[in-house]
């Protein structure tokens, strides 16, 4: 019994230490992005743009395909119930609200975790193992400023952009069903989607995607920077980055959804 309590206590301490590490890294990167430029330490915009291309632009094809299918699946699933009530014309609003409030940000985050969160952990982990992080420190260059801050900047900008694109592709996917089975024209489906959408639906999704971007970067970079020695550890860090990021993104999603529900009343 005592052993179990000790183990639970230790697990809680480890989890808190991990969260503390993430918060410290995130705050440090944020200070390099938002404060340091005003104190004569310029932002590495070139590195951030390169990162944004890799994280954002190159994710577009796969994200488009996935969210198009998700939109179509949502329409099919919604139609299954709506048809019983003769309310197939509500399929457009069901799809657009589900996408913009929840599935757009979440699916985008999961795609980005698979592409970029794992890549951050692998890149920084390999640099750690090959002493490149140590080399930066001996040259009086902060690894957080040089490596992590550009990734943070790229991710917190690109995640909301990708989410907006994902929402559009989801609506497009839903419109295939709407046009084929629910007597919509394409423009009629788009108008029905826009009519159903409130500004609040879009902003809540974008706020969440901003937080997801920060979370994925913090976890990926933290796992990379805390990699132990050897190639095997890099593999473990990469796996841990993906699993932990998915968990953390869903936890952040829950917190913000609850916050918007109780504070915003919706």
Partner 1 sequence: MALFTDQSSSPQSAPSDDAMISIRNLRVSYGEREILHGVNFDVLRGETMVILGGSGSGKSTLLRTLVGLEQPTSGEIWIRGKNTAAMTPEERNETRKKMGMSFQSGALFGSMTVGENVALPLKEHTRLADSTVDIMLRLKLEQVGLAGYEDYKPSQLSGGMKKRAAVARALAMDPEVLFFDEPSAGLDPIIAAGIDQLILELKKAFHMTIIVVTHELASAFLIADRMVLINKGNIVALGTTKEMQESQHPRVRQFLDRVPEPEVEQELDYLQMLTKDRSRRS
Q: Which residues of the shown chain bind partner 1 in the complex (CB under 8 A)? A: 127, 130-132, 134-135, 137-141, 146
CA contacts within 13 A on the Cβ side of 75: 26
CA 250/CA 93 separation, integer angstroms: 24
Tell me the three state secondary structure of residue 230: coil
Taking residue 141's Cβ as centre, other Cβ atoms within 10 Å add up to 12
> Which of 106, 101, 112, 100 lies closest to 167, judged by CA?
100
Taking residue 239's Cβ as centre, other Cβ atoms within 10 Å add up to 13
182: DSSP letter:
S
């Amino acid at each position: 019994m005592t052993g179990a309590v000790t183990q639970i206590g230790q697990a809680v301490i480890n989890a808190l230490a991990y969260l503390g590490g993430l918060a410290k890294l995130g705050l440090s990167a944020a200070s390099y992005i938002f404060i340091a430029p005003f104190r004569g330490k310029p932002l590495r915009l070139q590195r951030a743009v390169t990162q944004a291309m890799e994280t954002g632009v190159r994710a577009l094809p796969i994200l488009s395909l996935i969210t198009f299918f998700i939109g179509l699946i949502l329409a099919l699933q919604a139609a299954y119930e709506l048809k019983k009530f003769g309310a197939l014309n509500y399929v457009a609003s069901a799809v657009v609200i589900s996408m913009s409030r929840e599935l757009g940000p979440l699916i985008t985050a999961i795609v980005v975790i698979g592409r970029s969160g794992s890549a951050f952990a692998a890149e920084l982990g390999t640099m750690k193992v090959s002493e490149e992080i140590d080399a930066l420190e001996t040259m009086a260059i902060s690894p957080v400023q040089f490596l992590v801050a550009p990734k943070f900047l790229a991710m917190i900008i690109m995640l909301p952009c990708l989410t907006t694109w994902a929402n559009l592709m989801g609506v497009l996917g839903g419109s295939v069903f709407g046009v084929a089975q629910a007597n919509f024209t394409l423009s009629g489906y788009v108008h029905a989607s826009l009519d159903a959408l409130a500004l609040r639906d879009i902003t809540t999704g974008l706020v969440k995607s901003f937080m997801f971007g920060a979370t994925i970067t913090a976890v990926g970079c933290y796992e990379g920077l805390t990699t132990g020695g050897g190639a095997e550890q890099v593999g473990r860090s990469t796996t841990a980055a993906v699993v932990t990021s998915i968990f953390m993104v869903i936890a952040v999603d829950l917190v913000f959804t609850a916050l918007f529900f109780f504070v915003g009343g919706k």
